[in-house]
Amino acid sequence: MVEAKLDVREEKKKEEKKEGKLQALAKQIRNKLTVLYGEPFVGKTTLAHLLSKYFEHTVIFKIDKNYRPEDFRHINSNIHYVNINSHKGLISVLDDMLRNPPQNALIVVDSITGLDAFFMPSDPSKPSPRMENARARFVDAVMQRLSFIKYNGNTVIVIAHERLRNWETQERVPRFNVTALRHADMCFRLVKENEHRRLVRTHLRDYYKAREEDFLS
């Protein structure tokens, strides 16, 4: 009986600690445009849903087909989901939102790299600079629109997959042209270590420096 009470207290402490961290993170990203990236199934979508509890209302532009809204009703049942089926569809709904922007909302794009298939060359074995440039312009256009939407007191999270930038250092970055990060205020990588998740903040100026070195090398 005593052990059971101790277990309950320990679980309660863990939950309170978790809630405290989420509240602190929600406060940190409020009124900012944040990029959240990581490997597939690391928990990026779950983290965005957990953060939604600390905002008045949430809109998720749902591109990822690997989950259903019902999967997260137990976290927050007041989320408005907008299904996005193409890159043009995302641009269209963002333009509509710019004309009639919400206020004090959390807006999540989940995930922007889920639209990469629309920029695949007809022959995947042959790289296409034209399609890569089109994809880079698309991501930049999305990020620019979101940066304008942010100014109505809104908070924006852009979820992305990651890619390996440096084989020697194993440095990983969001899987899109990093110059689009000039529109972002913050950038976090979600990492899985054993059964735990760790959020690593990357300073945006490090990306610009890395990008400059890439061009010069």
Give the pLDDT confidence of 122-149 residue by residue, as tens digits: 877 788 888 889 999 999 999 999 999 9
11 within a domain of the structure (yes/no): no
Per-residue buried b or exposed e for 127-151, using 16+ beta carbons within 10 Å of the residue's own CB? eeeeeeeebbebbbbbbebbbebbe
Q: What is the mean pLDDT of residues 103-131?
A: 89
Whether the per-residue pLDDT at 217 is higher than 50: the answer is no
Q: Is residue 114 part of a domain?
A: yes
In a domain, 206, yes or no: yes
| Residue 4 domain-assigned (yes or no) | no
In a domain, 31, yes or no: no
Section 198-210 average pLDDT: 70
pLDDT at 121 over 90: no
Structural domains in the chain (count) = 1
pLDDT (0 to 100) of residue 215: 37
Contact 215, 179 (CB under 8 A): no
pTM of the model: 0.88
What CATH number should be reported for the domain holding residue 119? 3.40.50.300
Predicted local distance difference test score (pLDDT) of residue 76: 93
Instruction: Tokens for 55, please give them.
Output: 């905002």
* Residues 54, 217: Cα–Cα separation, whole Å: 44
- Can you give the residue range of the structural domain that contains 62? 41-216
**For residue 146, which phi and psi values (nearest 5 degrees)?**
-65, -35
| 55 in a structural domain | yes
Asked if the model's pLDDT at residue 213 lies above 50, the reply is: no
Is a pLDDT exceeding 90 seen at residue 30? yes
Does residue 55 carry a pLDDT above 70? yes
Instruction: Number of helices (H) and strands (E) in the chain: give both, helices first.
Output: 5, 8
SS3 53: coil
Give, rounded to a whole angstrom, the gap between the first and last alpha carbons of the chain: 66
Residue 159 lies in a domain: yes
- pLDDT value for 1: 57
Here the contacts of 81-84 (C-beta below 8 Å, separation 24 or greater) are: 84/115
Asked if pLDDT for residue 195 goes beyond 90, the answer is no
